[in-house]
A = this chain, B = another copy of it.
Amino acid sequence: MESQTPVGRKITLNDIAAGCGVSRATVSLVLRGSPLVNKATRARVEEELRRQGYVYNRAAANLRRRTSSSVALVINELANPFFAEFAAGVDETLGAAGFVTLLGSTGDSAEREHAVLGSLIEHGPGGIILSPAEDSEARKVLAAVGTHTPVVLFNRELGGQLPEYAHWDRLMLDNARGARAATEHMIAQGHRHIAFFGGHDHASSTRERHDGYMQAMKAAGLPVETHWRVQSTPTRTDAARAVGELFAGPGAAPTAAVCYNDAVALGLMLGLHQHGRQAGRDFAVTGFDDIAEASMSMPSLTTLSTAPRARGRQAAEMLLARLRDPQAPSGTTVAPVELVVRESSNPLS
């Protein structure tokens, strides 16, 4: 094998064509595996491609063909393992389909999201997978991405109304059913005084989970005390701080809590000690997400598995399907979540 030159100009189709005495068009046909070209010629060209160390310029091809080979992935918080897994799943599926992932991370700020979308869209992605920032608004997002690029929304709804001509696909988690399943599990364990702990009610995912909890309580004919709803930032530290409110109310103290997510649940378990209780023994706890830590905490956490990597693959599949058939009616997919029973949800003693 001849060595490719260590340094120099980029090799183009013209160089190859000149190098083996055929036309640019023929080389192009060889590259794309066309059956039109003669076997001998093909071999000659392929040898030359190798010899000169040719690398395909997909941008030029896309320009001519008015195609795209990329998809933008915009994540509100990449550092969160849930979203990192999601991103890995997206990239895996897109890569297998020959697409490259354009990454954008917004730090959960609608302002940065707007800037990031504006920058990504200029690179002409075939579509966008967007996990919106907390305060992201439909109108602004639409202004940034325009109406030519299909969008798959993940995990959260946007604020405000989306015009009816923008038919975007959605992939959401079954928040209500998940929270209801967790609550029913608590009830089956004999608990009657069950709190809903953590999250902020202005986020759609929190509201949905709280709704599921209320459904289960109502279906079982159980009353709900107002001080059993404690809000917090969905982080471990803030949850630990908020534990006091759970036992500060005038009515009966809860013996169990359905938590907004795993982070909050872990924080709650931590904070319980200071109130003379121990999760999994005299106070039952469930989470949401099944992050890696959930199976390793002490006690291990009963929670709802969301399989973020599978969700990533699914979101990518949805986008690919949309690219294949842009006219298909858009839809919302609600991914099921599964209750994983571990040690933290002890029966009422």
Chain copies in the assembly?
Answer: 2
Please name all residues of chain B whose beta carbon is closer than 8 Å to the beta carbon of A121 when the two chains form the complex.
55
A 105-137 to B, binary, CB cutoff 8 A, 1 in contact else 0: 101000000011001111110000000000000
Question: Sorted from nearest, which 10 A-B pairs have the closest CB atoms?
Answer: A84-B84, A6-B165, A103-B103, A101-B103, A78-B88, A58-B122, A59-B59, A56-B122, A270-B296, A91-B105
Given that A78-B91, A104-B95 are contacting pairs, would A10 and B58 also be in contact in the complex, using a CB cutoff of 8 Å? no
Identify the interface centre among A53, A269, A298: most chain B CB within 10 Å of its CB: A298
Min CB gap A80→B, angstroms: 8
Please name all residues of chain B whose beta carbon is closer than 8 Å to the beta carbon of A297 when the two chains form the complex.
293, 296-298
Min CB gap A255→B, angstroms: 21
- Please tell me the size bucket of the interface on A: 35 or more
Is A285 located at the chain interface by the 8 A CB criterion?
no
Give chain A interface residues in 54-84, CB to chain B under 8 Å. 55-60, 62-63, 66, 69-70, 73, 78-81, 83-84
Given that A10-B148, A57-B122 are contacting pairs, would A296 and B236 also be in contact in the complex, using a CB cutoff of 8 Å? yes
Is the CB–CB distance between B79 and A147 below 8 Å?
Answer: no
Is the CB–CB distance between B58 and A124 below 8 Å?
Answer: yes
Residues of chain A having any CB pair with chain B under 8 Å: 4-7, 10, 53, 55-60, 62-63, 66, 69-70, 73, 78-81, 83-85, 87-88, 91-92, 95, 98, 100-105, 107, 115-116, 119-124, 146-148, 163, 165-166, 236, 266, 269-270, 292-293, 295-298, 309
